[in-house]
Amino acid sequence: MTEPVYRFLPPPVALAEVFAGIWSLQALGSGEAETIAPDGCCEIVLHRTTPPLEQTGSGWTRQPAAFLYGPMCRALVLRQKGEMDVVGLRLHPWAAGALGPVPGAWRNRAVPLAGILGAAAQALLDVARSCETLEACSDAAATILEPCLTVPPVQADVRDHIEALAGGKARSIDDLAARAGTSSRTIGRRFERACGLTAGEVIRIQRFGRARAAIKAGAALSDAAADAGYADQAHMTRDFRRLAGATPRPVRDSAVFDVFYAAPEK
């Protein structure tokens, strides 16, 4: 794909508890396979042009025009020939459960949005395709989505758990349980309800993200592994094969979806 044009905006106040922001991406696809690695966040995806092909098993399937990509714990491989023009709404990593009571049912797949939001799905797609600016799209999406959200009571607890992991205040499920004064089993149930991922998967994805960022910044592979919390470089390589579909070294090369992992514009 050619150099992408990417924008990211903070969410409207009405959506801030659930959504991290709204983004747009335009690029020209070469037809070659491109990989998106999990970062712990689900996305509502609204295609304004023909959707790309997604690798499913040994074949390729056209993505829906409007869908939720559920909690990911593996690499996603896409192929686009020609124009890609897409709007996305990124959920916080602790907020998938605000769209439904069993977010784990959406794991690792593109779920047609109509099955989750009903008629609001088409309204969102219409907004994405008709609004002239991302700001206007964001405001209109807030009006449509706010009535569809039901924040589960565990969301606040899981947000605290995930922020503790990201800030280095906890490194394991046992650490989280000790901080919360509860059992590891309770921590696990909270993560499943709020994220659709296990606590262990969230920890693995965060560790992978730290290593990926360090490698992108030029760190030696052994240093990136140690600083991210891997037992050794071989441990990191195994995680990269699973989560990025490749060994760590190719991460240094630029790729069209790198923009998804960059710090949002202020």
Tens-digit pLDDT profile for residues 94-152: 999 999 999 999 999 999 999 999 999 999 999 999 999 999 999 999 999 999 999 99
For residue 2, the model assigns a pLDDT of 58
Count Cα neighbours of 257 within 13 Å in the Cβ-side half-sphere.
19
Tens-digit pLDDT profile for residues 197-212: 999 999 999 999 999 9
For residue 264, the model assigns a pLDDT of 54
Count Cα neighbours of 165 within 13 Å in the Cβ-side half-sphere.
30
Q: Read off the pLDDT of each residue in 69-86 and give the average, rounded to a whole number.
A: 94
pLDDT at 266 over 50: no
* pLDDT level of residue 30 (50, 70, 90 thresholds): confident
Tens-digit pLDDT profile for residues 145-196: 999 999 999 999 999 999 999 999 999 999 999 999 999 999 999 999 999 9
CA distance 138 to 38: 24
For residue 13, the model assigns a pLDDT of 96
For residue 254, the model assigns a pLDDT of 84
* Cα-to-chain-centroid distance, residue 80: 20
CA distance 225 to 122: 44
pTM for the full predicted model: 0.93
Do the beta carbons of residue 44 and residue 142 sit within 8 Å?
no
* pLDDT level of residue 3 (50, 70, 90 thresholds): confident
pLDDT at 70 over 60: yes
Which residue(s) pair with 7 in the sheet?
Answer: 24
Which residue(s) pair with 8 in the sheet?
Answer: 23
